[in-house]
Amino acid sequence: MRESLLIKAAFSEPTSRPPVWMMRQAGRFMKEYWDIKNKYSFLEMCKTPELAADVTMLPVDLLGIDAAILFSDILVTPEAMGGDLSFGANIGPKFANPVRNLADIDALETDVTHKLQYVADAIKVIQQRLNGKIPLIGFAGAPFTVMSYLVEGGSSKDFKLTKLMLHNEPEMAHKLLSKIAKVTIDYLNMQIAAGVNAVQLFDSWANALSWDDYKEFSHNYNAQIIAGLNRKDIPVISFCKGSSVFAPLMAEAKPDVISIDWNVDLLDIKKRLPQGIAVQGNLDPHILYADKKLIKERIYKLFDRMKDENGFIFNLGHGIMPDIPFDNVKYAVDIIKDYSY
């Protein structure tokens, strides 16, 4: 796998073209996902290694992307810590026992990798199916983003309760974040031991934070996690929404790759980062709703802009939306594979 496009680009080595994968590449925009989802619940799919492998393989077989990403969710770690997690149709994730005070935080367990053994099992099944063809990316949620689901009890627009805890009860917040960080290090090392070829840390909602709060409550924990990984030959990708602002700080945590949102010119931000840090991104996912002519124009424009740079992985600035036409996603992958430097 060390010679694959993804791993070489992640380590800022030259490649014949940029590798392509897409966040949320295994999901509801695919009919074949629904064929499985209509028979099982989302958590059943995550927890049954054969099913998780079936879904992981959908974009490998149907899109021909250059990397697979483990089918799972960032919320399996807080569930293992004691969160009572469910996913209702069209309401997203819910925790029935939100974490709002010190007693709630004290009740969370931190030796939980044994409860996540199903993820290690899924990784082994997936690697058998991939059979060395392309790398497998493992992942986990970053402490701030995971904390927000535990505190809010689900998704949130404004993160009001989470930010209130950061501001009024910072010690309590740090206690919670430390516990999540510890679990995340163990969990990602378990994924590495089980055979993933790269890992991505998802700090999806970091863009809700001010610079100082990001530094104190998010960046410090992400840096701890990255420093705690057994990462020989395993590149670490750091993703957050808000990376167009936070990337220089994210670089201080020393990931191999920073995944960039679509608000910024990718070359400009790469030039502001230390040598040897690759970038991933950064097409606005909404481009994939548009006409094919525009899809091609925008992707090739990005590639032309990045053509003199090593260390570029094509991705979207965030995940594929469920109603993006499959045909457009397939078209994007095809034209990317036609591109050569």
Distant-in-sequence, close-in-space partners of 291: CB < 8 Å, separation ≥ 6: none
Chosen residue from 9, 63, 69, 201 binding ligand CP3 by CB under 6 A: 69
Residue 98 beta carbon to ligand CP3: minimum distance, rounded to whole angstroms: 15
Angle between helices 117-130 and 170-194 (to 10 degrees): 40
Q: Is 204 in the site for ligand CP3 (CB under 6 A)?
A: yes
Residue 289 beta carbon to ligand CP3: minimum distance, rounded to whole angstroms: 16
Chosen residue from 202, 217, 246, 312 binding ligand CP3 by CB under 6 A: 202
List, in sequence order, every beta strand (DSSP E) within the chain: 68-69, 85-88, 92-95, 136-141, 198-203, 236-240, 257-259, 278-283, 312-316
Inter-residue contact 261 to 277 (CB < 8 Å): no
Q: Is 41 in the site for ligand CP3 (CB under 6 A)?
A: no
Residue 45 beta carbon to ligand CP3: minimum distance, rounded to whole angstroms: 8
Choice between 12 and 257, CB closer to ligand CP3: 257
Angle between helices 160-168 and 170-194 (to 10 degrees): 120
Inter-residue contact 77 to 183 (CB < 8 Å): yes
Chosen residue from 29, 95, 139, 144 binding ligand CP3 by CB under 6 A: 139
Choice between 24 and 337, CB closer to ligand CP3: 24
Q: Is 57 in the site for ligand CP3 (CB under 6 A)?
A: no
The DSSP secondary structure of 109-139, one letter per residue, reads -S--GGGGHHHHHHHHHHHHHHTTSS-EEEE
State how far the Cα of 278 lies from the Cα of 258, in Å rounded to an integer: 6
Which among 71-79, 242-250, 280-288, 301-309 is the span making contact with ligand CP3, rule CB under 6 A? 71-79
Q: Is 155 in the site for ligand CP3 (CB under 6 A)?
A: yes
Q: DSSP label at 154?
A: B
Distant-in-sequence, close-in-space partners of 14: CB < 8 Å, separation ≥ 6: 8, 310
Which among 66-74, 119-127, 229-237, 275-283 is the span making contact with ligand CP3, rule CB under 6 A? 66-74
Q: Is 100 in the site for ligand CP3 (CB under 6 A)?
A: no
Q: Is 195 in the site for ligand CP3 (CB under 6 A)?
A: no
Choice between 42 and 300, CB closer to ligand CP3: 42
Site string for ligand CP3, 278-317 (x = CB under 6 A): ----------------------------------------
Choice between 64 and 296, CB closer to ligand CP3: 64
Residue 193 CA, chain-centre distance (Å), reads 19
Question: Cα–Cα–Cα angle for 205, 11, 281, nearest 5°?
Answer: 40
Q: Is 159 in the site for ligand CP3 (CB under 6 A)?
A: no
Q: Is 321 in the site for ligand CP3 (CB under 6 A)?
A: no
State how far the Cα of 280 lies from the Cα of 200, in Å rounded to an integer: 11
For the CA atoms of 257, 261, 264, 269, the dihedral, rounded to the nearest 10 degrees, stands at: -10
Q: Is 129 in the site for ligand CP3 (CB under 6 A)?
A: no
Which among 26-34, 186-194, 272-280, 292-300 is the span making contact with ligand CP3, rule CB under 6 A? 26-34
**Lookup: tokens for 239:** 């993703």
Residues that bind ligand CP3 (CB under 6 A): 23-28, 37, 42, 69, 71, 73-75, 87, 92-93, 139, 155, 202, 204, 318-319
